[in-house]
Structure 1
Amino acid sequence: MTESQNIEINLDVVKEGLKLWIDARKGGTLFDAERSAAEYNEARFQLREGCFYDY
């Protein structure tokens, strides 16, 4: 997993041009598991429980 401070999720499947941005308020709490998510049947984006995020 790659640690990230913010991520952008493309939601074109819902409505063209729609995007969701998530910003972590504290480092080390937001991750992109692009490489391993499918292999382990997990969600690509991982948020740490009990932490705060801006959407």
Structure 2
Amino acid sequence: MDVKKLGIAIGVIFALFFVISQPRGSADFVLDILGLLEDAAGSVVLFLRSLFS
């Protein structure tokens, strides 16, 4: 088995374990990540608007 495939398999198994054992914590984690991505996208948009205005 390829090392990359093994790493992906371990990551998927860990994610499934976390979702099954702590669903609320998993949901909170996903919402936190989405919030960070939203803030980052907003910052890039603000930068571009400031650059071209």
User: What TM-score bracket applies, with the shorter chain setting the length?
Assistant: under 0.3
The structure with the largest helix share of the pair is 2
Larger C-alpha radius of gyration, 1 or 2? 2
Q: Answer 1 or 2: higher relative contact order, Cα 8 Å, separation at least 6.
A: 1
The structure with the largest strand share of the pair is 1
**What's the TM-score, normalizing by structure 2?**
0.26
